[in-house]
């Protein structure tokens, strides 16, 4: 079964909107100036926000990198696309695994309709050596992260160790792609995917930037008493960095160095005359805590996994002069699974049929029109056997195999300090919210890829989960 041919398919190349998506790695929703942080320096992320719309309630679908990136690309939740954790095995070599084999990403659709797609930076969805899902230009990290010097990268299909500071190199390669697209007059989609500010943080980043935070009080990162669920079986343990000013300086420096490079990209767009016809998006793949709640990390920074706001919310800004209102702060609740439908509608391109997409477009919010005015917005998350439902007022987290469960009234307890799950007065509410969880996930889960079957131990994913091609594929994506 095919889908209608949208107007975007009939536009000339000159009329097609370019798209630049800048994606950071492990950046908390507090870690930018435009997010209300007076300590961390991010003038260029702030510059995007000042010329566009900033969403203060943008939720990822899962608080871990690879799975979250898969949802952004495909519009499907982990229990649909089958990526449930960070990818540990199958990234390069003869046993490389394409974890999204058979899935349709928005880049597949854009490439089919005339956009040239490029990636510079982190892929971390398996088989990092070979461009896929509509990408042709490809400078990718072999794995998902690590040291910022001599980083293992892929360029033109060849494995290499990058001598440049990685954040600079990702920007350099992205700018080369931009110049090529400008010279050829191609409409383009470009992913600039930084590994920053993911660890490691100490002795990794430009020393002048690190030193500039010597006198920072870091009041925005309170080093709270150690959380009882702190995870200790990881390369970066809270016990190694909690209360460590050098780690805080390194995290802040990683963000600021990345921000300086974002400025280079924005300047490049303007110098090439591309800015007015380019949608610029800045997001992170998941949130992060730097001592908040007494741990360092994201969803797998604790065991059992957590769904704290700092783990599931991220900075999110969208800008295109002349189309998106400027300097707007929007508190609408939107999710990463809404990103693909939104982008496709923005470009007037078709969504893939037969893929049971859970999200909906928030284009009206981007364009300053009423959004979800007639319905209560609910956001759902999962991370293996842990599932969460969040309304504007309440959050309920259900841990299928490990417990404990949690209920927070976010209006009176935005810091999620008082778990109400055992209060008799909340029995009916819990039953209602558990029913919402069950109904929603029953609607969208592929039983062969159900996160409830995962052990929830966050050791990383090493195998591809089975997939059945939907009716009409591949014609279903236009």
**Residue 474, pLDDT score:** 44
The token pair that represents 54 in the structure block: 């900033």
Residue carrying structure tokens 């690879």: 66
- Decide if 413 is inside a domain: no
Q: Measuring CA to CA, which residue among 285, 440, 310 is closest to residue 377?
A: 440
Classify residue 48 as exposed, middle or buried by CB count within 10 Å of its CB (0-12, 13-18, 19+). buried
- Decide if 467 is inside a domain: no
Question: For the chain, what is the largest distance between any 2 Cα atoms, rounded to a whole number of angstroms?
Answer: 66
Q: Measuring CA to CA, which residue among 316, 321, 328 is closest to residue 266?
A: 321
User: Rounded to a whole number, what is the distance in angstroms from the first to the last CA of the chain?
Assistant: 10
The token pair that represents 368 in the structure block: 């300053």
- Decide if 251 is inside a domain: yes
Confidence of residue 473 (pLDDT cuts 50, 70, 90): very low
Confidence of residue 476 (pLDDT cuts 50, 70, 90): very low
Sequence-ordered list of residues with C-beta below 8 angstroms from that of 356, at least 6 positions apart, any chain: 76, 80, 443, 444
Total domains present in the chain: 1
CA atoms lying within 13 Å on the CB side of residue 279:
25
Mean pLDDT confidence for 354-378 = 86
CA separation for the pair 166, 45 (Å, rounded): 19
Q: Measuring CA to CA, which residue among 58, 59, 49 is closest to residue 328?
A: 49
Q: Measuring CA to CA, which residue among 400, 415, 409 is closest to residue 455?
A: 400
CB 141 within 8 A of CB 153: yes
- Using alpha carbons only, give the angle 205, 208, 214 rounded to the nearest 5 degrees: 95
CA separation for the pair 171, 164 (Å, rounded): 11
Pairing type for strands 151-155 and 135-141 reads antiparallel
| pLDDT tens readout for residues 148-200 | 999 999 998 999 999 999 999 999 999 999 999 999 998 999 999 999 999 99
Q: Measuring CA to CA, which residue among 351, 272, 365, 273 is closest to residue 317?
A: 365
**Domain CATH code at residue 123:** 3.40.720.10
- Decide if 234 is inside a domain: yes
**Residue 232, pLDDT score:** 83
Q: Show the beta-strand stretches assigned E in 306-346.
A: 316-319, 328-330, 334-335
- Decide if 419 is inside a domain: no
Sequence-ordered list of residues with C-beta below 8 angstroms from that of 44, at least 6 positions apart, any chain: 259, 260, 262, 263, 266
**Residue 246, pLDDT score:** 98
Helix pair angle (65-74, 339-346), 10° resolution:
40
- Using alpha carbons only, give the angle 22, 25, 27 rounded to the nearest 5 degrees: 95
The token pair that represents 141 in the structure block: 């990290």
- Decide if 401 is inside a domain: no
Confidence of residue 466 (pLDDT cuts 50, 70, 90): confident
| pLDDT tens readout for residues 308-339 | 999 999 999 999 999 999 999 999 999 999 99
Q: How far is CA 349 from CA 3, 17, 115, 296, 430, in A?
A: 10, 11, 11, 40, 40
- Decide if 407 is inside a domain: no
CB 294 within 8 A of CB 263: no
Domain that holds residue 221: 16-377
Residue 205 has pLDDT above 50, yes or no: yes
The token pair that represents 202 in the structure block: 């100490």
Higher pLDDT, 444 or 231: 444
CA separation for the pair 68, 62 (Å, rounded): 6
Q: Show the beta-strand stretches assigned E in 259-307.
A: 278-284, 289-290, 296-297
């Amino acid at each position: 079964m095919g889908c209608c041919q949208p107007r975007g398919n009939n536009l000339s190349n000159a009329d097609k909107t370019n798209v630049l998506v800048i994606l950071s790695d492990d950046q908390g929703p507090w870690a930018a100036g435009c997010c209300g942080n007076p300590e961390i320096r991010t003038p260029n992320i702030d510059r995007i926000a000042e010329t566009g719309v900033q969403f203060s309630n943008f939720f990822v679908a899962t608080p871990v990198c690879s799975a979250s990136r898969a949802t952004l690309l495909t519009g499907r939740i982990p229990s649909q696309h089958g990526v449930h954790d960070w990818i540990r095995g199958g990234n390069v070599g003869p046993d490389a695994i394409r974890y999204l084999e058979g899935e349709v990403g928005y880049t597949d659709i854009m490439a089919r309709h005339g956009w040239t797609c490029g990636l510079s930076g982190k892929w971390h969805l398996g088989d990092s050596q070979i461009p896929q899902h509509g990408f042709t230009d490809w400078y990718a990290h072999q794995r998902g992260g690590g040291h910022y010097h001599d980083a293992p990268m892929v360029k033109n299909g060849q494995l290499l160790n990058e001598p440049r500071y990685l954040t600079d190199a990702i920007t350099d390669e992205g700018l080369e792609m931009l110049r090529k697209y400008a010279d050829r007059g191609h409409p383009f989609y470009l992913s600039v995917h930084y590994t920053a500010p993911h660890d490691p943080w100490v002795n990794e980043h430009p020393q002048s930037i690190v030193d500039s935070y010597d006198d920072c009080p870091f009041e925005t990162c309170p080093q709270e008493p150690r959380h009882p669920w702190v995870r200790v079986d990881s390369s970066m343990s809270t016990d190694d960095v909690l209360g460590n000013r050098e780690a805080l300086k390194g995290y802040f420096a990683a963000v600021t160095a990345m921000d300086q490079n974002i400025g280079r990209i924005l300047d490049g767009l303007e110098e090439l005359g591309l800015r007015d016809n380019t949608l610029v998006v800045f997001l992170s793949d998941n949130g992060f805590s730097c001592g908040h709640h007494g741990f360092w990390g994201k969803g797998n920074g604790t065991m059992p996994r957590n769904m704290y706001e700092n783990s599931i919310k991220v900075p999110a800004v969208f800008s295109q002069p002349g189309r998106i209102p400027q300097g707007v702060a929007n508190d609408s609740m939107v999710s990463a699974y809404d990103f693909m439908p939104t982008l496709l509608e923005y470009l007037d391109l078709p969504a893939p049929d037969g893929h049971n997409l859970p999200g909906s477009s928030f284009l009206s919010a981007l364009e300053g029109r009423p959004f979800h005015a007639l319905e209560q917005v609910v956001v759902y998350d999962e991370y293996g056997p842990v599932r969460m439902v969040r309304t504007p007022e309440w959050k309920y987290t259900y841990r299928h195999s490990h417990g404990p469960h949690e209920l927070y009234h976010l209006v009176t307890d935005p810091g999620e300090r008082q778990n109400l799950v055992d209060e008799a007065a909340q029995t009916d509410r819990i039953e209602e919210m558990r029913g919402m969880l069950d109904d929603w996930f029953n609607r969208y889960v592929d039983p062969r890829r159900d996160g409830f079957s995962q052990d929830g131990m966050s050791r990383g994913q090493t195998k591809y989960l089975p997939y059945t091609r939907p009716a009409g594929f591949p014609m279903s994506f236009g």
